[in-house]
Amino acid sequence: MLEFPVIQGQGFRNVVEDGRVTGFSFRLRNPNYRGGPGSMLDGVEVVVDGERIPDHVPLWTLQGRTFTLDELRASTDVRWQLDEPATITVPKPGGLSTGVHHIEVTIFLRRSYIPPLIARTRFRAEAQRVIVPPAPEGGIKYGVSTYSYTGDVNTSMTLEDVFAEIADLGATGIEILGEGNIANYPSPDPAWVDAWHGLVQKYGLTPTNFGSWVDTTRYNGRDLTAEEGAEQLQLDLRLAKELGFTSVRPKFGVISWDLDPHPIWQETVERSLDLAAELDVVICPEIHTPTPIKHPVTQGYVEFIEKSGTEHFKLLIDTGIFNTEVIVDTSEEVDGDGEEIPPHLRPLAVPMSDFVEVLPYTHFIQAKFVEIDDDLHDLHVPWAQIIPTLLDNGWSGYLSSEYEGRREPGRGRDQVRRQHALIRSLVQGS
Amino acid sequence: MLEFPVIQGQGFRNVVEDGRVTGFSFRLRNPNYRGGPGSMLDGVEVVVDGERIPDHVPLWTLQGRTFTLDELRASTDVRWQLDEPATITVPKPGGLSTGVHHIEVTIFLRRSYIPPLIARTRFRAEAQRVIVPPAPEGGIKYGVSTYSYTGDVNTSMTLEDVFAEIADLGATGIEILGEGNIANYPSPDPAWVDAWHGLVQKYGLTPTNFGSWVDTTRYNGRDLTAEEGAEQLQLDLRLAKELGFTSVRPKFGVISWDLDPHPIWQETVERSLDLAAELDVVICPEIHTPTPIKHPVTQGYVEFIEKSGTEHFKLLIDTGIFNTEVIVDTSEEVDGDGEEIPPHLRPLAVPMSDFVEVLPYTHFIQAKFVEIDDDLHDLHVPWAQIIPTLLDNGWSGYLSSEYEGRREPGRGRDQVRRQHALIRSLVQGS
């Protein structure tokens, strides 16, 4: 599917020719209600951050071919279809800076059925769009969780659209939620599994982490047994392996305000460790606010790793634990009296020294965030501390974007791009 | 794809059992970010037009099976997936009246990983949704043009979603725009054509009218010749026939403020009439505001029909010509000084007597409209005059919805439902 705004977020980038940045390009959805001949296109005026580029300057790429406006006017065999975006290329030596830009366009179309004097009609659109620099090579790997696109998936994004979006922003890893993204979970059709592998191949992405739930209160009136917990976890380990994932995050039920996991967690894991080793899939409990690193729950996991000596049980760190500011807007309405801030929205501000201590036990990092503003400032997460910490300690695993802000259509897509622009800038600037 | 709002527009209807209306039902998109076991659903409170239905009362239909809340809590083998809506059925003898209703829901889900005391979490949603009565039998046929969903198609609706939407609201005819809806127009892949016929079969819809354009200013510096015009029209006649359509509306370029069609129109049609007869597809020029019925253009078409004696050239009436009020909001930004109302937005208020005169020459009616309010009042089109006129004169052709109001996502879907509710009420009340 295309994005609803005429100016698409996907495809906005600087153009590199012979190693030099010569301009920028972006995609437009046809704003008309019909497709039509390229010869009836009559230019596009672009205003980027207040700088006006006249309507005859941008190049048009349609159906795989690139045209000047004069070439387009003279064309007889190219069309702008409704289901194919046009790519607009604007010459601008040096291109645009990393980050958020304001783009306005006026698209001119000639329409025969409008009186000749006004038949050159215009469609206007504007948007804020993000230049994401290429991923710096080596070190940190860049991924995205489908969780970031909750609400958009199944309503304006197919699974293929998710792959295309992640690949377009230059990330290489895709994280999924088993019970969210697998059609007919827990028994996907073999054709679905084939299609999954086809997408992995087509978009060159690496399956990273697979979200799993051990719902200890699944049944009414009694808790899940460790045997049932292990059955669930093992089902997900096998599904994850089948789809090429290398870790599974089981989210265990909790039994206290402190988020102590249900006591079956340990037996559930113990019963599943042999299978995890056999499949070479790492089981990763998630360290998530309001549970910090210096806390019996996290320490219990670390102890388990040390005692068992396993390579297939490691931590998953959710960067929400580093927040330094209270979260006001989030993805879900929060019940309460409105006076007290719920624990998971308060800043836990886990210090970097604690992070460094557990990094050797950490397999995966979910780059949780809620809002990044137009100046690439994250309102809550101190990336300027986290990124140097990761670099200094040689982290070579994934940072997997997990957008958890408001769920207006398309907002997650835009915010994930901001996050990658921010994080990659910090890596490049180090 | 599902609709973005949790309360879907599609599927809202009264429930009939043994000939009696026993309640109403609607569909919910799973508001959570993961699918999950049915046993963790904990009820849905519904408030319809202020009337509260407690959370244990509604029935849930998931994966084709219907459950009471107690049955759902005890279930072990049913899930609410993210890509499958739940159908909620609310008992209410007599059901809901035709028209717009305000629905609020609070969906309760138990989540194991939230502290036990607050683990019963709630998701709230509200929406205005439309009860469309079944189409009255005989007489007027009810259709929808894909034009109504411009902007939604390719961004949140696939072609199949369009078929599903039209079938769900009880219409039987689908009208398309050739250069809008046919992938790779003018040369659709044979697989696309097969898929089209598969959709026609699956949803039981009848292809009605095929929108075509004769772009007389297609080439820069010269007008289209009648030969080229005929080539375009014949291409569309053949495509229309291949897809099962029974009429083609060629939109000719114009040469004046009065919308006089380009003079090639007549030769273009004459050159194509034999083919139209051979294919049994009717060529329908569109009578569209600001051109009324008592106007040389319309009268020229009628004269042509009478002189040629053809059965394959007839009028298409766009109901915008009957408007009694100025249009303020429309689908496209209108250029101008903001002082003078553009001609096509002024009310032409063509009298019913003129309409009756040309009905024998009319093949198809596009039920153009811009806005219908919460009381099913059309702000511009006098349906209370049009519908009795059609009934009194035995019209048995299509009324094909053509929504042309603002293009916020999903608005066309909602407005088309309002229009069908309004028109069918008038037919039933006559």
Domains of chain A: 13-131 (2.60.40), 141-429 (3.20.20.150)
pLDDT score for B344? 84
Residue A384 near residue A326, CB atoms below 8 Å: no
Sheet with A173-177: list strands edge to edge. A282-283, A247-252, A206-214, A173-177, A141-145, A398-403, A362-369, A315-318, A286-287
Tell me the chain A residues in contact with residue B232 when contact means C-beta distances shorter than 8 Å. none
Residue B287 to residue B280: CA distance in whole angstroms? 22
Asked if A39 lies within 8 A of B218 by C-beta distance, the reply is: yes
Asked if A259 lies within 8 A of B151 by C-beta distance, the reply is: no
pLDDT score for A339? 67
pLDDT one-digit tens code per residue, A300-345: 999 999 999 999 999 999 999 999 999 988 778 766 666 688 888 8
The first and second tokens of residue B152, run together, are: 């939604």
- Mean residue pLDDT across chain A: 96
pLDDT score for A67? 98
Residue of B nearest to A256 (CA): B115
pLDDT score for A208? 98
Residue with tokens 């239909």: B61
- C-alpha distances (whole Å) from B326 to each of A246, A287, A408, B304 are 62, 60, 33, 32
Determine the 3-state secondary structure of A388 from DSSP.
helix
pLDDT score for B343? 83
pLDDT one-digit tens code per residue, A202-261: 999 999 999 999 999 999 999 999 999 999 999 999 999 999 999 999 999 999 988 899
pLDDT score for A337? 60
Q: How far is A82 from chain B (nearest CA, A)?
A: 6
Determine the 3-state secondary structure of B307 from DSSP.
helix
pLDDT one-digit tens code per residue, A143-177: 999 999 999 999 999 999 999 999 999 999 999 99
pLDDT score for B329? 82
Asked if B153 lies within 8 A of A257 by C-beta distance, the reply is: no
Asked if B112 lies within 8 A of A213 by C-beta distance, the reply is: yes
Tell me the chain B residues in contact with residue A184 when contact means C-beta distances shorter than 8 Å. 81
Residue A268 to residue B64: CA distance in whole angstroms? 33
Residue of B nearest to A37 (CA): B218
Active-site hit among B56, B101, B197, B288: B288
Active-site hit among A101, A262, A288, A363: A288
Asked if A33 lies within 8 A of B331 by C-beta distance, the reply is: yes
**Interface with A, mutate which of B220, B224, B225 (most A CBs under 10 A):** B220
Task: Return per-residue pLDDT of chain B as tens, 430 residues.
Answer: 999 999 999 999 999 999 999 999 999 999 999 999 999 999 999 999 999 999 999 999 999 999 999 999 999 999 999 999 999 999 999 999 999 999 999 999 999 999 988 899 999 999 999 999 999 998 999 999 999 999 999 999 999 999 999 999 999 999 999 999 999 999 999 999 999 999 999 999 999 999 999 999 999 999 999 999 999 999 999 999 999 999 999 999 999 988 899 999 999 999 999 999 999 999 999 999 999 999 999 999 999 999 999 999 999 999 999 999 999 887 787 666 666 888 888 999 999 999 999 999 999 999 999 999 999 999 999 999 999 999 999 999 999 999 999 999 999 999 999 999 999 999 998 8
B70–A contact, CB cutoff 8 A? no
User: What does DSSP assign to residue A117?
Assistant: G
Residue A197 CB-half CA count within 13 A? 12
Residue of B nearest to A176 (CA): B34
- How many Å separate Cα B401 from the centre of its chain? 5
Tell me the chain B residues in contact with residue A115 when contact means C-beta distances shorter than 8 Å. 254, 256-257, 259
**Amino acid at residue number B104:** E
Asked if A119 lies within 8 A of B184 by C-beta distance, the reply is: no
pLDDT score for B399? 98
Residue of A nearest to B261 (CA): A113
Asked if B73 lies within 8 A of A220 by C-beta distance, the reply is: yes
Which of B133, B143, B136 has its CA nearest to residue B165?
B143
**Interface with A, mutate which of B179, B239, B331, B402 (most A CBs under 10 A):** B179
Looking at the partner chain, which of A124, A181, A256 has a beta carbon nearest the beta carbon of B115?
A: A256
Q: Which residues lie closer than 8 Å to A123 by C-beta, 6 or more apart?
A: A6, A31, A32, A106, A107, A109, B332, B333
Asked if B214 lies within 8 A of A81 by C-beta distance, the reply is: no
B299–A contact, CB cutoff 8 A? no
**Interface with A, mutate which of B6, B34, B402 (most A CBs under 10 A):** B34
Residue with tokens 């109901």: B319
The first and second tokens of residue B125, run together, are: 């949603």
> Active site includes B295?
no
Residue with tokens 């003279």: A74
Asked if A180 lies within 8 A of B34 by C-beta distance, the reply is: yes
A215–B contact, CB cutoff 8 A? yes
Asked if A37 lies within 8 A of B83 by C-beta distance, the reply is: no
Looking at the partner chain, which of B153, B185, B217 has a beta carbon nearest the beta carbon of A110?
A: B217
pLDDT score for B192? 98
Bond into A54 cis (ω within 30): no
pLDDT score for B260? 92
Sheet with B86-91: list strands edge to edge. B13-17, B20-28, B86-91, B59-62, B65-67
Helix axis angle, A383-392 to A411-429, nearest 10°:
50
**Interface with A, mutate which of B155, B160, B223 (most A CBs under 10 A):** B155
pLDDT one-digit tens code per residue, A62-111: 999 999 999 999 999 999 999 999 999 999 999 999 999 999 999 999 99
**Amino acid at residue number B73:** R
- How many Å separate Cα A165 from the centre of its chain? 8
A254–B contact, CB cutoff 8 A? yes
pLDDT one-digit tens code per residue, A112-123: 999 988 899 999
Q: Which residues lie closer than 8 Å to A108 by C-beta, 6 or more apart?
A: A41, A42, A43, A44, A45, A55, A120, A121, A122
Taking one residue from A and the other from B, the number of pairs with CB-CB distance under 8 angstroms is 177
A124–B contact, CB cutoff 8 A? yes
Asked if B156 lies within 8 A of A1 by C-beta distance, the reply is: yes
Q: How far is A278 from chain B (nearest CA, A)?
A: 28
- H helix runs in B147-263, sequence order: 159-168, 178-181, 190-203, 226-243
The first and second tokens of residue A60, run together, are: 């048009």
Looking at the partner chain, which of A35, A112, A156 has a beta carbon nearest the beta carbon of B217?
A: A112
